[in-house]
Structure 1
Amino acid sequence: MTIQPVAPRHLLTVAEYLEIREIELGYSELVQGRLLMTLSPAADHNRAAFELGVALRGQLPPEFEVLLDMDVDLQLAPADAPGTVRRPDVIVASREARLRTRRDGGVIRASEVLVVVEVLSPGSRRTDHVHKRGEYADAGIAHYWILDVSEPVSLLACHLAGEFGYADAGAVTGSFSAAEPFPAKIDLDALL
């Protein structure tokens, strides 16, 4: 049996989205109060996100951790206004953020995220390179990485550059090294 979701009659706040999520499966993100549903990602996409998380885990400062496929409230609107919640493939967030959500409920907040990573899918290129890039910058997330798993695997590391949003030095293949926001080295070819 197929259940057709019913669209709400008004734009949703983050709190309303979280209530729906508990009873209505399939909605993956909230953008300016509108529910968005996406298809499940391909196996290469999921493997790359998982392997990136594993590669990062041992390189993080102890106060941070890797989380996969978690809702992040971008905090772009007041609590009583239509909100935006994205579900990145990988985030690096403070350990306290996860403990807070366990203790108090809610979702990870943009202010608790150090790095957000999107793994490109054929249908998400424009969304990830344009829309999410702007939203994550507006939310003040310091680092946004875009992982492209089409061969050769590449990673575009973006960092906040003041009022202009994110700046980047171009995509890299083979091996990715970073000094900021923490020292890291990732064998990109090993992610597939």
Structure 2
Amino acid sequence: MTAEPVHHWPVPPQDGYTVDDLLTLPDLPPHTELIDGSLVFVSPQRDFHSIVIDLLASGLRRTVPPELKVRREMVVVIDNRNGPEPDVCVLRAGAVRSTKQTYYQVRDVLLAVEVVSPSSESRDRDTKPHKYAAAGIPHFWRVEMASTDERPVVEVFELDKEARAYVPMGTYRDTLKLAVPFDIDIDLTEIDQF
């Protein structure tokens, strides 16, 4: 008979974790996020999640102006108790200071993208967009898998600055063609080639 593995789960501080903890705790699993002072461990990705991130990041990089950069799966510091990790983000080029950098400040992010996964559906659909809007990120995209052909469906939102909430601007199924935050033209059917 074999012994069950012993897990040494971190015990949170009484007032919860901080961004400093997120950025310095050793041996955290990849893609750990901080939401309201709690560490969130991400489940393994599905193939759809991975290839959609690649498709969007490469599509954005084709037309991104030089004053902006595209990054995938990097922590965005909203405040001391929130450091989510958008699947893709577009940020000001000046925010990129080093290849060793592990996070960006929310003030530098123009677009946050979340690819919805079954294990993170509530966070991707509700929690994170509310936090991104409250923090002032001007653009948000939510991407889900179409039930019919398993291709990405991209819902595009823009920030209503007064309400600090996102307003839907359109749903895109085959082609994502936008003029903001810059000229974007992504063929979503390219997912079939990945």
Per the normalisation by structure 1, the TM-score is 0.86
Name structure 1 gaps, 5 residues minimum.
none
- The secondary structure found in structure 1 opposite 2:96 is helix
Give the Cα separation in 2 of the matches to 1:52 and 1:24. Answer: 27
Give the aligned residue type for 1:39: S
Task: Spell out the pairing of 1:9-158 with structure 2 (5 A cutoff).
Answer: 9-10=13-14, 11-20=16-25, 22-26=26-30, 28-75=32-79, 79=80, 83-99=81-97, 102=100, 107-150=103-146, 151-158=150-157
Give the letter for the 1:12 counterpart: Y
Residues 16 and 57 of structure 1: CA distance in aligned 2, closer, same or farther (over 3 Å): same
Q: Distance in 2 between matches of 1:123 and 1:96?
A: 34
Structure 1 43/106 Cα, relative in aligned 2: closer, same or farther at 3 Å? closer
Residue pair 1:116, 1:144 contacting (<8 A) in 2 also: yes
Q: CA deviation at 1:106?
A: 5.8
**Contact 1:91 1:113 (C-alpha < 8 Å) held by counterparts:** yes
Name the residue aligned to 1:185: 185
Query: What's the % identity of the aligned pairs?
Result: 28
Structure 2 residues not aligned, in runs of 5+:
none
Question: How many pairs does the alignment contain?
Answer: 183
Once superposed, what is the RMSD of the aligned Cα atoms?
2.0
Aligned counterpart, 2:168: 168
SS in 1 for 2:97: helix
Please identify, of 9-18 and 58-67, the stretch whose mean Cα deviation from structure 2 is larger: 9-18
Answer with 1 or 2: which has the greater Rg. Answer: 2
Query: SS in structure 2 opposite 1:126?
Result: helix
